Amino acid sequence: MHIQSIPMWTGKGNNYAYLVTDEPTKKSVIIDPANPPEVAPELKSQLAANKIDLTAIVNTHHHWDHAGGNDDMLSEFGKLPVIGGKECRSVTKTPAHGEEFKIGDRITVRALHTPCHTQDSICYFMEDGDQRVVFTGDTLFIGGCGRFFEGDAAQMHSALNQTLAALPDDTKVYPGHEYTKSNVKFCLQVSQADPIKKLHAFAEANQQTQGQFTIGDEKLHNVFMRVQDPEIQRATGKTDPVEVMAALREMKNSM
């Protein structure tokens, strides 16, 4: 599979849309094309050059900076299916938790419901041979997680530390925003562990971090995936994993 990141609102929201292509068939989906003026020209040039065959819009959740471009994309590119959570703009298909579908011949997609940031949040785990990736929207960021707008700490604990943690450790993470620099600053306040220091150095040296880290890495440098770690428990003054998650989110919110 080929993944092209399309940054949107750089310097403001620092969002990413992602174009995912099954190379043998050129069948492609566009994930969260929320700002069509930044996404459509790239897609049009690839369509004109016969590099892609656009088959669907895929959304990670209903927020305007993820699903708000759907209607303009549909009027520019024709009547594509919109695969996403049930509150996403003009959605036509909401896959069940664990439901699989294909992109072209080789890419298998599995929808993982991860309610908390929004109740309709879905992560998409994709496999092509031994290449494994997950698009996590605003649920999991590199070194962080989304705010609990529509859910609670128990739901985020389940999303991160059960659903996403169960993916193979070599699964590369593609989040909905580039937030790593500020996330790792918070992680460093909570823990000085080596993997966190390493992530800090990487984020200082690189503008983009999507696809550079795996679920296995997140388990080491993301404090929200270390709620069982005695060091993180001491820093929060809690031991119950859900209470640790809640305390971390409150600490990060007030940073």
Binding residues for Zn ion (CB under 5 A)? 63, 138
Q: Residue 61 CB, nearest distance to Zn ion (Å)?
A: 6
The residue from 66, 113, 157, 200 that is catalytic is 66
Nearer to Zn ion among residue 104 and residue 175 (C-beta): 175
Strand ranges across the sheet with 2-8:
2-8, 15-21, 27-31, 53-58, 82-83
Nearer to Zn ion among residue 63 and residue 249 (C-beta): 63
The residue from 22, 120, 128, 138 that is catalytic is 138
Q: Residue 100 CB, nearest distance to Zn ion (Å)?
A: 25
- Asked if 240 is an active-site residue, the reply is no
Q: DSSP states of 29-66 as a string?
A: EEE----HHHHHHHHHHHHHTT--EEEEEE-S-S-HHH
Contact (CB, 8 A) for 117 and 146:
yes
Nearer to Zn ion among residue 138 and residue 217 (C-beta): 138
User: How far, in Å, are 27, 88, 185, 206, 245 from residue 152 at the CA level?
Assistant: 37, 21, 23, 32, 9
Residues in contact with 163: Cβ distance below 8 Å, sequence separation at least 6, in sequence order: 112, 113, 114, 123
Nearer to Zn ion among residue 63 and residue 221 (C-beta): 63
The residue from 22, 32, 62, 65 that is catalytic is 65
The residue from 22, 32, 61, 128 that is catalytic is 61
- Asked if 113 is an active-site residue, the reply is no
Residues in contact with 217: Cβ distance below 8 Å, sequence separation at least 6, in sequence order: 173, 195, 199
- Asked if 97 is an active-site residue, the reply is no
Residue 194 burial (CB < 10 Å; 0-12/13-18/19+)?
exposed
- Asked if 61 is an active-site residue, the reply is yes
- Asked if 2 is an active-site residue, the reply is no
Distance in angstroms (rounded) separating the CA atoms of residues 138 and 239: 26
- Asked if 157 is an active-site residue, the reply is no
The residue from 113, 157, 177, 200 that is catalytic is 177
User: Is residue 245 helix, strand or coil?
Assistant: helix
Distance in angstroms (rounded) separating the CA atoms of residues 82 and 122: 13
Q: Residue 66 CB, nearest distance to Zn ion (Å)?
A: 6
- Asked if 229 is an active-site residue, the reply is no
Nearer to Zn ion among residue 120 and residue 138 (C-beta): 138
Q: Residue 231 CB, nearest distance to Zn ion (Å)?
A: 29
Residues recognised as catalytic: 61, 63, 65-66, 117, 138, 177
